[in-house]
A and B are shown apart, each in its own frame.
Chain A
Amino acid sequence: MTMSRLGAQPAEVIDRAATLSFRWNGKRFRGFEGDTIASALAAAGEHVFSRSMKYHRPRGILTADYWDPNLMVQVGDDPNVRAGHRLLEAGMDVRPQNVWPSLHRDIKAANSLVGRFLTAGFYYKTFMRPAWLWPTYERVLATFAPGGKIDLDTPHRYHDKRYLHPDVVVAGAGPAGIEAALAAAGAGARVLLVEHEDKVGGHLRYSSSDSAQAALAELRAALEASDVEVLTDSTVTGRYEDNWLGIVQRNHPIAVERLIKARAKVLVAAPGLIERPYVFSGNDRPGVVTSGAARRLINLWGVKPGERAVVFTANSEGDAAAADLDRVGVEVAAVIDGREGKRVSSAQGSSRALEAVAAGGNRIEADLLVVAAGWTAPTSLLNMAGDRPVYDAAAARFFPSDPPGNVLATGGLAGDGSLDELRAHGSATGRLAAQRAAAVAHRLQARTARARPVDGDEPSWAPDERTPLGRDPHPELYRSDTHGMVDLSEDVGSKDLVAAAREGYDSVELAKRYTTATMGPSQGKLETVNTVAAIAEARGETIAQVGTTVWRPPYAPLTLGALAGRVFEPVRVSSIHPWHEANGVSTILAGQWIRPDHYGDPAAEVRNVRTNVGLIDVTPLGKLDLRGPDIPKLLNLLYTNKWSKLPVGKVRYGMMCAEDGVVLDDGVTGRLGEDHYLMTTTSSGAGGVWEWVENWLQTERPDWKVHVTPVTTAYVSINVAGPKARELVGRVTEGVDLSPESFPYMEVRLATVAGVAGCFMWRIGFTGELSFEIHAPSGHGLHVWEALMDAGQDLGVGPFGLEGQRIMRLEKGHFIVGQDTDGLTLGPSTGLGPLIKLDKDDFAGKPELAWAADRPLPMIVAIQPDDPNMVPDEASQIVRGDTNEILGRITSSRMSPTLGRSICLGQVEPELAAGGTKLTVLLTSGERIGATVMDHHAHFDPAGERLRG
């Protein structure tokens, strides 16, 4: 195969005035603007582009388009680039993939010699003994992995997404697709036309005939004059539920690739047809090309594909290729006509001096063998819509069967015809699509609540009255009288498929899995039907009987970058966060929240709270504002304890359980007014509890009058804790008497703090100290915090973080839902059994909690290691003596700065729950230590005198 650049061609897309310089395989090359990488290299005389996966056979151009399995190259840090599709750019560094040490001398080509032992699936039958050698074998097999190289330093560049709500999306801008788009737009529909190639026109583009070029010019002009939005070098990658479409745009000016998501009211599938290779001995040699490849090379890029050609043709496209070759001065040594029952039998010789052998033994020397053996209908989008295309033996391809009414096929997918017939069918399809889209639009609007109802009745669903396209007869050409390659990406031959079928892998799915045919980068676009044909042959069945594999999305591969786009998973911070950052905070990620963990020395923070006063930002605490007369009923239903008699100004703690009795959440709720409450939840439970509350109110108790508003981020929450808390809060608070007599523990007041009106303040805390928790309007949060800090300088006020709070809550023995409890912890296991009021009529989880009351359950207990300096890691297991029998685990542990010893909470089996029980704790180091169960959860101040002060 000797390729070179021709003189100017009438339909060429290259700009011969614009020369682009690039590198291939380490050497400098030149091409023209408008070239693909492959066409530029072909014009420069390159004929080997890659090595095959298993046998490392040299491979040249086969289809010269996106699906060409032999034209996968590395461009810079971009692996697996389709050189038959990617437009050439100046300065590209293009390298071959999957070669060692080089493209032209590849050592693994020796595999060809032992090919008859490396039959498909051979690896399942060997490398089993000795077993210890398998990892070594595996490493060797892994070196056969095809594909390019990833540079892990490649940045995740700009990939934004776009959302569209078009009436009609047309996939494929050949003549039928363009006509469909024009007709739909003409009928008033908003239309998006998506073309896989970099220009519209489909097969008209590479036809040299004047009539084709005139039609192309006419269609292009009409498109430009229309309102149709045209996307080129873009592919509809998938059709999902309810016509949700993924579209990848590869030529976006900024984004590397852009994902477009469109909810199309009607999808028109007009992808055209894909030319199918023919299976015969040597069909993968460089120099064997499809008719489409020959025509594209000549007409689009002015590349002379060879000097002396043999053309095997069974259709008009093959004939046209022969005519094109002749026109540009390629000697057509022979035309083997498949319609007359003639076959090409093998291609032999070197890649530069090919010898085509026709069935019957007629040998013809050539450097190019052009094959036109038929078509594969890329029915992917129809498959994804649930259609099961059917095989028509007379036309030798699959056709749509019964796609849903909002998916219409036109063009080559739907049938054959003259250009006028194809255009007419496209036009009729566009009109039908517009009519149906109008009906869908009406229905969608009518189903949406709106101030004024939608006018008129829903338009009737337009019947499909298109004149169907014909079906040209075509010989069933799959395999010649020799065996050859079926899947060029995977190096799977027809022999492999026949052997697999004989071995029992005789359904197409089993054969596919066993041989890996159709599993490579073209995903069956070229090889599926030949695969089915090989199995049908082995089974003595028809292609229709064997059936085909399911085409799965995406239609064309797209980058992870395009799919990912920008990841919108924001983190949250409170309005006090700038202060934390300015004051040396170490943060911790808790759910979505970035929270202060400590400010350098958590133990010192604890000591300061226990002796002076500290501030902690607890804004992520979930907060729900409840209004309405039926709130007590709601609280009685959600919490295990009783709420009917909570007076205004009081706060109460409650535990929530799910319907299976498992602890769901906990927190305090205060009564702010007659019909006004503030409920707090755990930080991580804020969203879930809100939905839980809405679920009960809307579905089980819709007659109750309660309105719920989540106010978590509407308020900043600051807990002021420590013996001097009252003194500090008093300095900045107006309108509330803070004395213990008038504002005792577990009460709530509305206050003005640091001049900010509308703050709620309640006397509770997790630390066990005298605490005032202030909920201030979020916009003033930083001000309130700073005012407290300023006012308390002489009191020794300081911030404390989550770590300090965790230490203090552990000193007080408060459990944390999700840390000290798990997915099976029932309410009574928390030790809060007295808060479970089984005499209430109903509450969430009541039956399970009632039955659990009679059962011994694992219990949460306070534990102290015998060695006060030993802090067992959280998750250390509690075991029976020297055995490995698990009896519980440490769920929380810390060194207590207050007590100067290690303290824990843990879950233990019921028989170990009594105070004074001796435990064995298995440390993560493997050491076993002794520990003792305490009488109370609180390690410190069990009577709670400090917090009530």
Chain B
Amino acid sequence: MTGIVRRLRRRPPKYSAAGLVWRGMRGEHWPRIWRDTELRRSYDAVVVGGGVHGLATAYYLARNHGITDVAVLDKAYLGSGASGRNTAIVRANYLTPEGVAFYDRSLQLYNSMALDLNINVMMSERGHLTLAHNDSSLRTMNWRAEVNKLQGVNSSVIGPDEIKKIAPALDTSDHPRYPILGALYHPPGGIVRHDAVVWGYARAADHMGVEMHQKTEVLDILCEGGDGPDGKGPGGKVVGVRTNRGDISTPVVVNCTAGWAGLISAMAGVRLPITTHPLQAAVTEPVKVFLPTVVVSGSLHVYISQTDRGELVFGAAVDAVATYSIRGSLEFTEELAGHVLELMPGISRMRLLRQWSGLCDMTPDYSPVMGFTPVDGFLVDVGWGTYGFKAAPVSGEQMAEAVATGRTPELIAPFALSRFDTGELVGEKGAAAVGH
């Protein structure tokens, strides 16, 4: 596809300490982070979903491929879905070679993001500990460490003494039920300020001419030539999008939604191997910083980090029951607290401040569905389960390449929708089930 390279906007002022002082002295406001523009009737490409994946896709379309006639549509506000609800952990210590290569690229992009996007996303490379409480999880940790090392990713299995040195809050004593036998230690892992990633991509994409449209809900995807009703389905092609603000004609629609991936894909007549489950998280009141790393326990379904604001952020496994309701549950907080105190009994007096949930699109093999579909011009970047945030930069980069070249980039080839026709699933299930 050939994009019209639109005239670049005048470069807005850069973010810097000097800029802060200058504007502070003069009492001047900063310009809008992205423009508020009219929704036009036609675009070269439409990205559905204004989260980190959609915005990254739009950004790389513009930056790497000069395709700037792009609209990003979100039914609420940018970052309102999983992008702003996740626990902001990044890591590359996956189990399969394809997973490791993919997430390692993502981590590289996160590391250079502040300078690339000129916004401080507060990448905190604080290290990531995945605890093993039994023999078999220790074996899986070793497996991951070995695959990681072969791919040049810094991971190793460490014992309780070293764990205690890194995170003294953890109870490494001889516990009957969940002893800490070891951990996969991944120093490059850490946390990122998730909202800043949303705003950074949106701002940078805006600078290059991409349009962000909030409160713009996709009601239908207009197709022709397909096997199904209204020209949808396999064999068809995309011709446009119907929104609550009118129809748009476009030859390319990229579905970058989470939680609603199945519903959006159904609008093009594409069925997905996805069920939607809430993923809950919670945060405590702040206390002085005592936990320097990210701690994850797969057996206990919990992951913990402490923000620079002093709050402990907790996450867990997805809820078992498929639902689009994100009201959250009491039992989640009960189980969470129980498991957190198994790991760190000394924090029983900390108070839970807020719980929330987001929607996760779960696939059978705990790996995403990326790239082309049987409907021409309809691409998906979905099925991100509980690991979408950490993959956002590389996903955007690769999806943009797919759109621009019409070919599936090698890095995302293992994640093609067609693997569910051939039964060649990705083997991340073991590592990613609660692998945050």
Residues of chain A touching chain B, judged by Cβ–Cβ distance below 8 Å, are 77-80, 116-117, 119, 122-129, 131, 134-135, 138, 141-157, 159, 238, 240-241, 244, 246, 256, 259, 261, 384, 386, 499, 502-505, 507, 509-510, 513-514, 516, 521, 523, 552-554, 557-565, 567, 569, 571, 588-591, 594, 660-661, 818-819, 822-824, 848, 851, 873-877, 879, 884, 886, 889, 922, 924, 926
Contact B150 A879 (CB under 8 A): yes
Contact B139 A819 (CB under 8 A): yes
Q: Which B residues touch A560, using CB under 8 A?
A: 284, 337, 340-341, 347-352
**In whole angstroms, what is the CA distance A525 to B251 when docked?**
48
Q: From residue 166 to 196 of chain B, which have CB atoms closer than 8 A to chain A?
A: 168-169, 176-177, 179, 193, 195-196
Output the nearest chain A residue to B364 by Cβ-Cβ distance: A660
CB-CB under 8 A for A141 and B308, given A554-B352, A875-B146, A924-B142: yes
**In whole angstroms, what is the CA distance A451 to B289 when docked?**
59
Contact A156 B115 (CB under 8 A): no
Contact A117 B20 (CB under 8 A): yes
Q: Which B residues touch A141, using CB under 8 A?
A: 308
CB-CB under 8 A for A134 and B114, given A154-B346, A244-B330, A922-B150: yes
Q: In this assembly, does B44 line the interface, its C-beta being within 8 Å of a C-beta of chain A?
A: no
- A536 CB to nearest B CB, Å: 16
Contact pick for B120, options A125, A241, A553, CB 8 Å: A125
**In whole angstroms, what is the CA distance A259 to B114 when docked?**
44
Contact B429 A563 (CB under 8 A): no
How would you classify the secondary structure of chain A's contact residues: helix, strand, loop or mixed? loop
Interface size of B as a range: 35 or more
Q: In this assembly, does B410 line the interface, its C-beta being within 8 Å of a C-beta of chain A?
A: no
Residues of chain B touching chain A, judged by Cβ–Cβ distance below 8 Å, are 15-17, 19-21, 24-25, 27, 29-34, 36, 76-80, 84, 97, 114-115, 118-125, 133-136, 139-140, 142-143, 145-147, 149-151, 168-169, 176-177, 179, 193, 195-196, 199, 214, 284-290, 307-310, 325, 327-330, 333-334, 336-342, 344-356, 364-365, 423, 425, 427, 429-430
- B230 CB to nearest A CB, Å: 33
Contact A126 B349 (CB under 8 A): no
Q: Which B residues touch A822, using CB under 8 A?
A: 427, 430
Q: Which A residues touch B147, using CB under 8 A?
A: 877, 886
Contact A123 B120 (CB under 8 A): yes
Output the nearest chain B residue to A128 by Cβ-Cβ distance: B114
Q: Which A residues touch B125, using CB under 8 A?
A: 135
Contact pick for B177, options A157, A571, A818, A889, CB 8 Å: A571
Contact A503 B177 (CB under 8 A): no
CB-CB under 8 A for A504 and B33, given A119-B24, A138-B122, A552-B355: yes
Output the nearest chain A residue to B140 by Cβ-Cβ distance: A875
Contact A156 B341 (CB under 8 A): yes
Contact B346 A151 (CB under 8 A): yes
**In whole angstroms, what is the CA distance A129 to B146 when docked?**
35
Output the nearest chain B residue to A126 by Cβ-Cβ distance: B17
Q: Which A residues touch B344, using CB under 8 A?
A: 152
CB-CB under 8 A for A154 and B115, given A138-B124, A565-B338: no
Contact A503 B286 (CB under 8 A): no
Contact B345 A156 (CB under 8 A): yes
Q: Which B residues touch A561, using CB under 8 A?
A: 337, 341, 348-349
Contact A240 B288 (CB under 8 A): no
Contact B349 A503 (CB under 8 A): no
Output the nearest chain A residue to B17 by Cβ-Cβ distance: A126
**In whole angstroms, what is the CA distance A554 to B119 when docked?**
33
Contact pick for B329, options A151, A241, A523, A874, CB 8 Å: A241
The 8 closest A-B pairs by CB, nearest first: A145-B310, A561-B348, A563-B337, A152-B346, A147-B286, A875-B142, A557-B351, A125-B15
**In whole angstroms, what is the CA distance A521 to B350 when docked?**
12
CB-CB under 8 A for A152 and B347, given A80-B285, A510-B78: yes
CB-CB under 8 A for A564 and B77, given A152-B169, A244-B330: no
Q: Which B residues touch A134, using CB under 8 A?
A: 114, 120, 123
27 contacts between A and B (CB under 8 A): A77-B349, A80-B286, A116-B24, A126-B15, A129-B16, A131-B114, A138-B122, A148-B287, A150-B287, A150-B349, A152-B346, A152-B347, A155-B345, A156-B341, A159-B348, A240-B329, A244-B330, A261-B330, A499-B30, A504-B34, A553-B355, A554-B354, A557-B351, A563-B337, A563-B338, A822-B427, A922-B146
**In whole angstroms, what is the CA distance A187 to B402 when docked?**
68
Supply 9 further A-B pairs (C-beta < 8 A) apart from A131-B115, A557-B351, A879-B150.
A138-B308, A147-B288, A150-B346, A150-B350, A509-B80, A557-B352, A560-B337, A565-B338, A824-B427
- B191 CB to nearest A CB, Å: 11
